Structure 1
Amino acid sequence: MYADLRTRVHNFWDRGLLGMALHPDFPADPRPYVLYAYDAVPGGLIDDVRVYNRALTPTEIQNDMNTPVN
């Protein structure tokens, strides 16, 4: 399982992938949780925020990242 976050993660100085955890029932429930610094213009506004009430599968994460916000 993987999710390619390279185009979304800000990798300068102390930014980047900040944390990662596996679901408590891993490997029966193989969902990963990631926290990362978003690659955006410093001081700019966040224009892409989505909140989910559940963990997404790797496929859902990739699809979400490729879907523009309306």
Structure 2
Amino acid sequence: MTYKGFEGYSPIIAYLSQEGYGVNIELREGKQHCQKNTPEFIDESIRYARAVTDKPLIVRMDAGNDI
């Protein structure tokens, strides 16, 4: 259930490059705050990206992750 009482999910997805190659994804509960476990997800995603490229990485996040 979401925080508004509906069935739903709050996915978090990491893509690599403009082509949108999927690097990491989690299908989270709808009521989960977008920042919960996000640092761990980012670290894991960067490790996955580093396994396929040594190019510079840019991390772009939703405004809910404003720090």
Q: Same fold (TM over 0.5)?
A: no
**Bigger relative contact order, structure 1 or 2 (CA pairs below 8 A, ≥6 apart):** 1
Of Structure 1 and Structure 2, the greater strand share is in: 2
Of Structure 1 and Structure 2, the greater helix share is in: 2
- TM-score, normalisation: structure 2: 0.30
- TM-score, normalisation: structure 1: 0.29
